[in-house]
Chains A and B, each alone.
Chain A
C-alpha cells in the first residue's frame, strides 16, 4: 500500500505521530484497515483530508470490536458527531486511546465516557445497569442487578451523591489491577 500512490504526506504522518501513540507504519495500517471497512467510500489518497465518515454499523464489524459488549458505546464516544460515524481522525483517535502505550489517565477519561451512557458526566444507576446487563448478557435477575449496582456505587462513591462522578471513577480505577491490561485494543 502506498507504493504507487501516497496516502499521506510526510507532514501528515508526522502530525499523526505527534498526536497519537502510533508509529508511521501503524498509521498506514490503520488507514488500510479503515479503508477496508468501506472501500467504495474511503479514498486511498488522504493528502487533502477528505471529510468522510464511516457509519457505526460498519465500524463495529471490525474483528477488534466485534465481540465487545460496549462496541457501540466505544464508537459513539469517539465519533465527533456522537452517533458513531467516524472520520479517519476519529478512527485513529479511538485506537490511539485504546492502544497499549496510552497512559492510564487518558484511558480513564475515555472509559468514563464509554460507561456514561446518558452522557450526563455521571455514571448513575441506569448506566451501571446497562453496563452490567451487557457484561452478563442479561443473565442476572433484576434483584441481583440492583444489588450489584448499589454495591458498586456504595464502594466507589466518595461524595455520597449516589452516582459516580469522574473523580470517584478515577479513584476507583486507579487502584484496579486489571484496568490497563484489559482496557486496550490492539490493531
Chain B
C-alpha cells in the first residue's frame, strides 16, 4: 500500500495538472513554460551548492524577481506552485543578497532576515517535496535539496551574526525599508491570526507559527523611530498583553458554558435536531439569567436591603382578615397570604422616590428595568437571528442542488449512537428514493378534488378547535371572576385554579388533535411540520390573548372598585383630620394611629395580574413535568417491563417508546418566555422562578430524553427551523410587549400599592425625575426631543432610510439573479460546445451567421468573464481568461468549422480551480511569498 500511495501523491503533484492541462490546453505553451521553469530550477539548485558567483549569474536570468512580497507567478497552475515559488523565493533572496553586498550594512539586517526566513521555508518545503517527489529521480533530488539545505543553513548562521549588528543601527533604516519591514511584520501578524483557518498540516502550522512569532518578536521593536519608538514598543507590548488577556478570557468563557458535556451526550444519541432544543434551552437560560440579574440587582435587592421592612406600612402587611390563613399551604400555594405581600409582587414596593442612604430611586429603577428587560431581550433575539441568518448558507433556490446536497450534507457528523445512525441511514435512503421518484415522474395527482376537499375540511376543523379553545378560556376566566367574588373558603381547589387547568389541558390536548387532523391533508412531512407548528402557535397565541382580554375585564372592574375605596379612604381621612383639628384645635395633626394590617386598601390590580401570571407559569411547569413523567417515563417503564408478559411486542408495536417532540417543546419554551416577559413587570419574582424552572428542566429533560425516548424515525433538520423558532420568539416578544406597554401608558396605577402609587400614570416617574432632579438643560433637551416638530422629521428620515435600503437590496437581488443567469448561460454554452461542437444558443448562432466582419464577435466571450468574478474561487483563472477569449475571437473570425477548437478557449479557463482546495484558498490570501509554498496535498 505505501508505495502505491506515494505514487498517488506524486502523480497528483506532477502529473494530474499537467495531464489535464495537456489535454485541455494546446499543450505546447504549457510545455514550454515547464521547461523554462525546470531550467530555472535546476541551475539554481546547483548554485546553492557552488558559490555566490553563480548565484549572481542566475539572478540575471530573472532580474525582476526582486519584489519579495508579490512574487510574480509565471502562470497559474497550482501543481507548479511549489517549485515555482521556491525558485522565485530563493532568487529573491539571492538578489537581495547581492544588493546587500553592494549596499551598506544597514540593509543587511533586513535582507538577511528575509533570507533566513526564506531559507527556513525553503528547506521545509524541500522536505515536503522529498515526501512527495519520489517519482523521477528521488534520490538525487533529495541529496540535492539536502545539500542546498545545509548550505543555506550555514549561510544563515553566518549572516545572522551580521544581522545582529545590523539591528543595532536600525535607526538609519530608510523610510522605504521601514515601510517594507512594517508591512512584513503586519503580514506576519496577520498570518498568526489566520493560521488556524489554513488547511495545512498541524506540524507545518506550528513551524510557521514559530517562525512568524520569532520574526515579529525580533523586528517589531525595530519599527518606529527615535522618540516614537518607545511608544511603539509600549503599544506592541500592550497589544500582546491584550491578546493574551483576550485568550484567557475566551478560555474562561468557554469554561463557563454549562452543560456542554450533557448536550454532547444527547447530541450523539439523537443527532443535532434534538440537541438544538437543548442548546436553545441553554441560551434561554442565559438570557433569563441576565434578566434575573437586572431585576434582582436593581429592584428586588435594593428594596430588601434599604426599603422599609415587612409590616411597616399597609402594603407590606397581610390584612387582618387574611392573617389567620396567611400561612396555610393551600393559600401560599395559590400565591395568597404572605406570598402576596412579599417582594415577589408589584404591590409590595414602596412609592417613596428615594430609599436608603444611597438615595436609590426605586420607582424609577423599577420602571426602567421593566422596560429594559424588553429592550435587552429584543436586542439579544435580533442579534441571534442575524447570526443564524449568516450561517445558513446563502439560500440557493430549493431544488437546485437537491441530490448533491443530500449526498454531501445529509449525514449528521454528530451522531454517535448506533440506533440513531440506523435511523439516519434509513431516513437518508428514503429521502433519496423519494427524490428519485419525484424526479422520474413529476407529481401525479390521483384525485386532486378529494385532496383539496380534505384539506379544506381539516382546516375548518382546526379553526373550530381554535375558536372553541378560545371560547373555553374566556368562559373559564369569566367564571373565575365570579368565583373570586364569592367567599374563598367555599371554593374547591379545582374552582380556584380553573383557568390555569383549562389552559394547560388545552395545550396538552390540542397539538396531538391537530396532528391527527393533519393526517387528512397528506402533506409532505416537512410542510406538515410547518403547518403543525403554525397551528400550535395560533392556539397558544389565541389562548394567551383571550386570557389577557379576560384579565383586562377584571382589571377594569378592579379599577372601578378601587376608585370607590380610594374615595372612601380619602373621605375617611379628611373626616379624621377635620375631627382631630376641631377636637384638639390644632393644625398639626398626627397621622391616624391605625395598625397597618387594619387599613382599608384597594384591590391592587397589578398584584392580581402578577399572581395570575405566576400561577399560569407554575401550572405550566407542573403540566410539563407531569407529562414527561407520565407520557415518557411511565410509558417507557410499562413498555419495557410489560413486554415480558404481553401478547404483542410492545416495543415495536403500538405504544412503543415516545419520541422527543422538538417542535412542541420549543414552542412551549417560547410561550413560557412570553408569559415571563408579560408578567415580569407585575411580579418581579417571576424571572427568578423562571430561572429555576429552566435550570431544573435542563436536568430533568436531559435525563428524560436519555432514559425514555427513542430517536426520531424521520429526522428533520434543525438548522432551517432555527431562525424560524427565533422568529417566533421575536413575535411572541413583540406580542407580550404590547399589553405591558399599554398598561404602563394608559392605566393608572393603584393608589395604595406599588412603586407608582399616588401617581396618575406610571411613566410620570420619569417625567418627575427629568423635571426635578436633572439639570435644567437636560429637561430642555427632552422637551425639544419630544417636540412633534422634531419627531416627525425623524420618522420621515427613518422611512426614507428604510425605503432606500429596501431599494438597494432589491437592486442587489436583481444583480444576483442576472449573474446567476449568466453563469447558467455560460455553463450551458460550454456543455453544448462540448457535446455538439456547435452553439445551441440561437441568438449566438444568428450572430455568428450574420456578421461577415467578425470584429464584433466578442459578445460570447464578454459574457463569460463575469463568472470568475462572481464565483470567487475562480480568481486564479483570470490571467488565462484573456488568452482564451482572444483565441476564441480569432476562431470565430475564421469559420464555423473551427468551432471544434473553440472549447479549448473556455476550457483552459475552467480548470483553473483544478488546483483543488489548497491553491484556491491560498490564492487570495496575503503574502504567499513568505516562504510557505503550496499547502500539502494528499
Contact = CB atoms under 8 A, between A and B. Distances in A.
Interface of A: 15, 17-21, 23-26, 63-70, 77, 80-83, 87, 89-90, 92-93, 96-98, 102-103, 105-106, 108-113, 115, 119-122, 128, 131-132, 135-137, 139-140, 144, 147-148, 151-152, 155-156, 158-161, 164-186
A176 B202 contact: no
Contact of A82 (B264, B404, B417, B938): B938
A156 B408 CA distance: 11
B789 interface: no
A37 B916 CA distance: 33
B775 interface: no
A177 B917 contact: no
B429 A137 contact: yes
Contacts of A181: 272, 391, 717-719
Most-contacted residue by chain A among B251, B267, B915, B938 (CB, 10 A): B938
A185 B920 CA distance: 25
A24 B432 CA distance: 42
A152 B916 CA distance: 19
Given A166-B920, A176-B405, 4 more contacts: A23-B255, A26-B254, A106-B197, A136-B428
A171 B867 CA distance: 12
Dominant SS at the A interface?
Answer: helix
Interface stretch (B1-9, B56-64, B737-745): B1-9
Contacts, number: 253
- Which 8 A-B pairs give the minimum distances between C-beta atoms? A167-B913, A89-B202, A175-B396, A159-B910, A121-B916, A67-B421, A109-B917, A181-B719
A132 B411 CA distance: 11
B439 A144 contact: no
A83 B2 contact: yes
Interface of B: 1-2, 5, 8-9, 12, 16, 192, 195-199, 201-203, 205-206, 209-210, 247, 250-251, 254-255, 264, 267-268, 272, 391-396, 400-405, 407-418, 420-421, 425, 428-429, 432-433, 435-436, 439, 717-720, 823, 827, 830-831, 834, 867, 871, 873-874, 907, 910-918, 920-921, 936-938
Contacts of B873: 166-167, 170-171
A165 B429 contact: no
28 contacts: A18-B195, A19-B205, A23-B251, A25-B254, A64-B268, A67-B416, A67-B417, A67-B420, A70-B411, A82-B9, A89-B203, A89-B206, A90-B202, A113-B917, A113-B938, A119-B9, A135-B429, A140-B433, A144-B433, A144-B436, A152-B407, A165-B916, A170-B920, A174-B393, A177-B720, A178-B410, A182-B412, A186-B267
Contacts of A103: 197
Given A19-B196, A175-B393, A177-B392, A121 B407 contact: no
A47 to B, nearest CB: 14
Given A105-B197, A109-B199, A179-B393, A15 B210 contact: yes
Contacts of B198: 106
B250 A23 contact: yes
B403 A112 contact: no
Contacts of A83: 1-2, 5
Contacts of A170: 873, 913, 920
Contacts of A70: 411
B578 to A, nearest CB: 75
Contacts of A115: 408
Contacts of A168: 913
A160 B417 contact: no
Contacts of A140: 429, 432-433
B834 A155 contact: no
A19 B252 CA distance: 19
A184 B827 CA distance: 32
A77 to B, nearest CB: 7
Contacts of B400: 155, 175
Contacts of B718: 181
Contacts of B9: 82, 119
A139 B426 CA distance: 9
Nearest to B407: A152
Nearest to B936: A80
Given A132-B407, A144-B433, A148-B403, A180 B425 contact: no
Contacts of B910: 158-161
A168 B719 CA distance: 23
Contacts of A26: 254
Contacts of A139: 425, 429
B408 A179 contact: yes
B713 to A, nearest CB: 16
Contacts of A165: 911, 913-914, 916
A24 to B, nearest CB: 5
